Chains A and B, each alone.
Chain A
Amino acid sequence: MTKQYRIPGRGRVNTARRVTFTFDGREFQGYEGDTLASALLANGQHLMGRSFKYHRPRGVVSAGSDEPNALVAVGSGPALQTPNLRATQVEIHDGLVAISQNRFPCLKFDLGAVNTLAAPLLPAGFYYKTFMWPRSFWDKVYEPIIRASAGLGVAPTAPDPDQYAFRYEHCDVLVVGAGPAGLAAALAAGRAGARVIVADETAEAGGWLLSDTTSRIDGKTGAAWAREVVDELNAMPNVRLLTRCTAFNYGPHNMVALNERLTDHLAHPAVGQPKERLWQVRAKEVVLAAGALERPLVFDGNDRPGVMLATAARTYLNRYGVACGRRAIVVTADDAAYRVALDLKDAGVTVAAIADLRPAPDGALVAAAIRAGITVLPNTTIQRAHGLNRVCSVELAQLLPDGSVGKGHQWRADLVLMSGGFTPSVHMFSQSRGKLVFDEELGVYVPGQSAERERSAGACRGVYRLDRVLEDGARAGAEAAAATGFDGSAPQWQTGDLDEPGRGGFAGALPRRGKGLRAMAFVDYQNDVTAKDVKLAVREGFRSIEHIKRYTTTGMATDQGKSSNVNALGIASEALGRPVEKVGLTTFRPPFTPVTFGAFAGHAREFLFDPVRRTAADGWARDRGAVFEDVGLWQRARYFPINGEDMEAAVRRECLATRSAVGIFDASTLGKIEVVGPDAATFMNRMYVNGWTKLAVGRCRYGLLCRENGFVYDDGVVGRVAADRFHVTTTTGGAAGVLNMMEDYLQTEWPDLDVWLTSTSEEWSVIAVQGPLARKVLAPLVDGLDISAEALPHMSMAEGSICGVPMRLFRVSFTGELGFEVNVPSRHGRRIWDAIWAAGEPHGMTPYGTETMHVLRAEKGYIVVGQETDGTATPDDVGCGWAVSKVKKDFVGKRSLALPALKAPDRLQLVGLLTLDPSEVLEEGTQLVARPDEAVPMHKLGHVTSSYFSATLGHSIALAMVAGGRARMGETLYVPVEGRSIPVKVTNPVFYDVEGARLNV
């Protein structure tokens, strides 16, 4: 069968390189340079897919990215098989595996095709009207059936192993499309010296020139001219020409996203080569040269395999050397199809007739066709195409003067070429929010006022004749370059043997004879939307084009209505009795063509998904087998199991060791902000609820930060390093937010304050040494600094050095024990950690993680912001009312804290809870009630925020937020869990060393 339809001497494929691939398991041969569609057509195979709803057999309609029908899955295996690719865009390579979709058991015979028989019952929107009875059938019966019959291809089921790359770029001029207009624009801008990027979605630059073998530019064929231009562009260091690269998203301020496909066309991509690259280009100027799309005609049977766009057949012939059939009928409303007929005839294809919808077609091309002996039937329409898996004949019929359709005649044909004229590709222009205007003469929408620094050139703005296209492109390129400061002239070329395309055209459904109640004339092929569906929508009151689209789903398939929108508009306009320009267009939504998810995700996978922040002692903890947890971007050691301990056992051991001897803890992830300047204290006074004026240099204070709404936002110890310098610490997760909030206030509310803020979170490694023996461990290391209780009491700080390294030493404790936090520059962090560890080991020092830290602080009733607080707690709610200055004139949140609702006695307040069974550990997040036997909805009094087993105390402890909790000390409440209620006693939240004696030793 091979070569059956291949025409020797035509096409740009490399006939010296044969390529073997499979389609639905059958082996086929093509040539290097073929698309899957051209290779299958060369083998006489038009049937390539099944439609969405009726499972109609479908063949290829177009030769480009507008293809609605020929969707296939490519690749083999659960990870690589990619659904819904257009056969017109898939380039074949040796070993390519393609299969058809949405059919069972096979493409030629699909059981789903019974839907065609049921079609009268399945008009647009039928599912809104039925499947409602009986109600219980929806979930179990109807919906599963609807879902199973919908969908197209099958999603991969195993992880995609491929890599995707990402790139940001700037340029002076971005040219979208490398047809004649785009090449001319790129050349003009490139020669002027501008930095140019040209992107074309196909494998080879040249666009329509590669299909047009008749026109001449400077005496050369279009393809030869394009080759020269490409060579010149490639030689320019300021120009980057990207093929297989689709501009798909036009964002504000000329931010245009491109998707470049790098390996899909290769049989053996290099190892590690990314499959695709996403470019985000910020262009000073954009030239859109995206071309135009030919429109199908809407008639009964217009979806039979073998019915295709006229210019597509020309592309297959001249670019791929493939004749799409042996005996063609052309149906057209436009001159361009005549050239297709001439080319086909020239290649030996029988052109049985050209049916022209126009009453008196008279262009030069028409005359040429007649001269060549082709039967031209003016004023003729196509009533119907026959055939199942391949068209076999058509009925052509005369258009009568009263607009009706006369008696028809059957014509044998295995190829039906249709042309309803051209639609400028305005997708990108529309995405840029430019205004489209209706061109009366062309009968289509063209770009009007631009919204961005952008210009359209060539066919995408309705300029079709090659000489004008070149001129338009060159001018756009030169103007764009000039607008970015590069002056040059627009190049000029001599053209010859030009056709005059773009004359005529048709939008809507073709006139037909009879009511056609059973006719199937498709507007949107892929979604199986017929002309009748559009009319039905209008009949049912869907009068806005957006409603029509949504009700019928026309234009919502994977081709996004590239070929269907204008016809749908034509039919709607007729049904509504409103001119097309009054009906309007639906919004063009990005992307221009579908873009792989992986291309957006790029390298962001697994450990590159988000940056991992690690502390200086991270390696030490990993070496010791610590288990980590994610806190913001940080990974923190959660516990240090030894000998196979589980978390509970490890935490008990770590807690006891810290309370009885000494523990070491990596506190480096805490946020740190250096607040400096003559007004630093004033600034702190306004930000934090506490007072700062009286804090002596060398002393620390627990700071509490609220939002304007009076609710706790962050907390941390603040040390006063100097009169004009504060060392502020924040929570790990809150560091960035607090700095932002501070900057926000400083820059917008108090620009008069003389203060600088510097994030120093990464500058300092913080090693917490906590426990009764902490001082013994540190004293020998701190280079003569007196850290006795008298010299460095609880909540004070000193600057000095440790093992010769500069240090800020804080005497603070989040454990309730004697504690120090050693701050050293991060680059020395690991060395100092090791030194402290070496000094501590003889004293029984134990490393502990965040989990033990949580237990120790909970024993002391210290809150964790984000755990005890949830953005709805005031300082007083969490027992920190003491921290709120009563004397300060103002601070963030002060006004809100004065609201009655924020002072109500029944607010949730921090309390402790003790279970009657000392071994029972409550689940965090459980709720508290007074009456456990109440029916739902139960009256809830609060919830458990923190809950642990305290090894030190020998029983479980919990913190909770309880309505009016401080007035409930001693009460018994209940924690309802699945199937039972746990009684708990409300207590003081400080469980251990209530007087704080251990802190002050």
Chain B
Amino acid sequence: MQKFSALSLARQAIGGHLGWKPQWRSVAPKPAYDIVIVGGGGHGLGTAYYLARQHGLRNIAVIERGWLAGGNTARNTTIIRSNYLFDESSSYYEHSLKLWENLSQELNYNVMFSQRGCLMVAHTVHDVQSFKRHVHANRLNGIDNEWLTAEEAKEFCPPLNISPNIRYPVLGASLQRRAGTARHDAVAWGFARAASDLGVDIIENCEVTGIMRAPTGEVTGINTTRGDIRTGKIGVSVAGHSSVVLGMAGIRLPLQSNPLQALVSEPVKPAFPTIVMSNTIHAYISQSDKGEMVIGAGTDSYVSYTQRGGLHIPAHTLEAICELFPMFRRLRMLRSWGGITDNTPDRSPITAKTSIPGLYVNCGWGTGGFKATPGAANLFAWTIARNEPHPINAPFTIERFRDGVMIDEAAAAAVAH
């Protein structure tokens, strides 16, 4: 692998940058692999990387139906945090956050992880109760998360409107300082480059169309648009299309796929120091390195695979943005788009073995799996390599929905008398 550094950049500059090699080998499929990862998003590429790096496996392929990381990895608003409520979730996301903190160095690829902090704004008495519960639970788990008054929140994020004269005044906020954002494409490319360097075959423009099984039940390979590939282990990491791919093996997943939209403003000089999330009035915003305000809109409530949604959804989000940051009202929407998110009933993921020997699945990340990219990849690799889950992902089974052992991060029903 060509090492990336200021020095190598300078050296290449002399030769007009003609000496750079492809960052990953995009190859044609071989007839057989030990392990095939379906889905070349951040999760799938990362899984292949950790399989090779930490479990010493080499004969691995990542199969992507389109261009690498063109799914939700390329479409998300890149919020990374670990201040989830339940122990199971917070330890999963914290595992990931810790990996993020060293990812650029580990991959020798600058993923621009920017720990600018994440403020979650409370607008109702119920929000305050719920956020404080998070703060206390996180603290006892050793995860940083603190409560700020409205004034303290404004000090941390000066554009925030804490006027009592808005419809839902800001009553306070929780802050995770270690939270941040990263450059989404770089994460996928960095994993692809590192995995490829370890011998992983990266196969683009190849859609998986079927899963082959032995009479005894276990998987034997996959059918693809570029031919059949034999393998004993299949790790499926296809986000919004998980139900489709697992359906090929006759497994029904408790997932619903909905469009989620996002947008960016035109780039402006630094004007926003952190990430602000407001669940109550539906607004998420941060400023990218390029200067664009990156804004997450809501989920369209219908089920769809079209990667777009109704205009009223981003419009509603912009109402909230303009309310919380009235000086941004004159900024302009530059681009908007949608991705298909795979949502479980308890809004927590599945990283697990399936009922079919040799078939593993990592899905259900829904609207929030970018932050989990290295963590999920790392634990999914473990699960595939050892044929058993790591203690951290052990609770994240498919069976929990049958057994009623939910990890219900979405539950806190916003109801108060």
Contact = CB atoms under 8 A, between A and B. Distances in A.
Contacts of A800: none
Interface string B353-373: 000000000000000000000
Contact of B129 (A153, A589, A867): A867
B267 A733 contact: no
B411 A711 contact: yes
A148 interface: yes
A568 to B, nearest CB: 16
Contact of B132 (A865, A923, A978): A923
A871 B413 contact: yes
B24 to A, nearest CB: 6
B124 interface: yes
Nearest to B186: A128
B15 to A, nearest CB: 8
A148 B273 CA distance: 12
A150 B289 contact: yes
Contacts of B166: 606, 609
A130 B9 contact: yes
B214 interface: no
B115 interface: yes
Interface stretch (B48-56, B228-236, B318-326): B318-326
Interface residues of A, number: 127
A610 interface: yes
Interface string B169-189: 000000000000001011001
B232 to A, nearest CB: 29
Nearest to A895: B404
Contact of B10 (A121, A153, A541, A607): A121
Contact of B318 (A597, A606, A710): A597
B282 to A, nearest CB: 11
Interface stretch (A486-494, A571-579, A913-921, A935-943): A935-943
A543 B202 CA distance: 13
Given A155-B331, A630-B168, A714-B415, A601 B270 contact: no
Contacts of B331: 83, 155-156, 596-597
Nearest to B140: A938
A543 B26 contact: yes
A589 B337 contact: yes
A850 interface: yes
A79 B327 contact: yes
A121 B105 contact: no
B408 A871 contact: yes
A131 interface: yes
Interface string B40-79: 0000000000000000000000000011101000100000
Interface stretch (B31-39, B309-317, B381-389): B309-317
Contacts of B334: 558, 560, 591, 594
A584 to B, nearest CB: 10
Interface stretch (A331-339, A360-368, A397-405, A899-907): A899-907
Contacts of B9: 121, 126, 129-130
A596 B133 contact: no
A154 B269 contact: yes
B132 A605 contact: no
Contacts, number: 357
Contacts of A133: 5-6, 105
A370 interface: no
Interface string B262-295: 0001111111000000000100000101110000
A390 B91 CA distance: 59
A594 B105 contact: no
Contacts of A711: 408, 411
Contact of B26 (A80, A143, A541): A541
B209 interface: no
Interface stretch (B106-114, B149-157, B218-226, B237-245): B106-114
B28 to A, nearest CB: 14
A544 B24 CA distance: 13
B323 A871 contact: no
A540 interface: yes
A609 B105 CA distance: 45
A130 B5 contact: yes
| Interface-centre pick from B25, B269, B330 (highest chain A CB count, 10 A) | B330
B167 A606 contact: yes
Interface in B180-223: 183, 185-186, 189-190, 204
Nearest to A131: B110
A371 interface: no
Contact of B328 (A597, A731, A896): A597
B13 interface: yes
B98 interface: no
A924 interface: yes
B23 to A, nearest CB: 5
Interface in A284-330: none
Contact of B405 (A52, A158, A558, A901): A901
A627 to B, nearest CB: 11
B266 A558 contact: yes
Nearest to A71: B266
A474 to B, nearest CB: 31
A909 interface: no
Interface residues of B, number: 113
Given A850-B417, A866-B413, A938-B141, A872 B123 contact: no
Contact of A138 (B10, B23, B104, B315): B104
Identify which of B186, B318, B319, B416 gathers the most chain A CB atoms within 10 Å of its CB. Answer: B416
A132 B110 contact: yes
Contact of A129 (B8, B134, B333): B8
Given A129-B8, A130-B6, A866 B126 contact: yes
Given A590-B336, A867-B416, A871-B411, A120 B13 contact: yes
Interface string A106-121: 0000000000000011
A870 B22 contact: no
Interface string A60-96: 0000000000000000001110111000000000000
A461 interface: no
A249 to B, nearest CB: 6
Given A596-B332, A709-B345, A937-B87, A130 B110 contact: yes
Contacts of A130: 4-6, 9, 110
Nearest to B326: A159
Contact of B124 (A553, A630, A864): A630
B268 A132 contact: no
Contact of A899 (B13, B24, B322, B403): B403
Contacts of B110: 127-132
A938 B90 CA distance: 13
Contacts of B17: 123, 532, 536, 539
A866 B18 contact: no
A853 B345 contact: no
A557 to B, nearest CB: 8
B136 A927 contact: yes
Contacts of B306: 252
A976 interface: yes
B30 interface: no
Contacts of A940: 87, 137, 140
11 contacts: A83-B268, A121-B10, A138-B114, A155-B271, A589-B335, A597-B322, A709-B406, A733-B415, A733-B416, A867-B126, A870-B130
Interface of A: 52, 78-80, 82-84, 120-121, 123, 126-133, 135, 138-139, 143, 146-148, 150-160, 162, 249, 251-252, 255, 257, 278, 280, 515, 517, 532, 536, 539-544, 546-547, 550-551, 553, 556, 558, 560, 587, 589-591, 594-598, 600-602, 604-610, 612, 629-631, 670, 709-711, 713-714, 731-734, 737, 850, 853-854, 864-867, 869-872, 896, 899-902, 923-927, 929, 936-938, 940, 943, 945, 976-978
Given A153-B266, A255-B310, A925-B129, 4 more contacts: A127-B110, A132-B5, A609-B281, A869-B413
The 10 closest A-B pairs by CB, nearest first: A871-B411, A541-B22, A151-B291, A866-B415, A925-B133, A925-B132, A159-B326, A594-B332, A544-B67, A160-B329
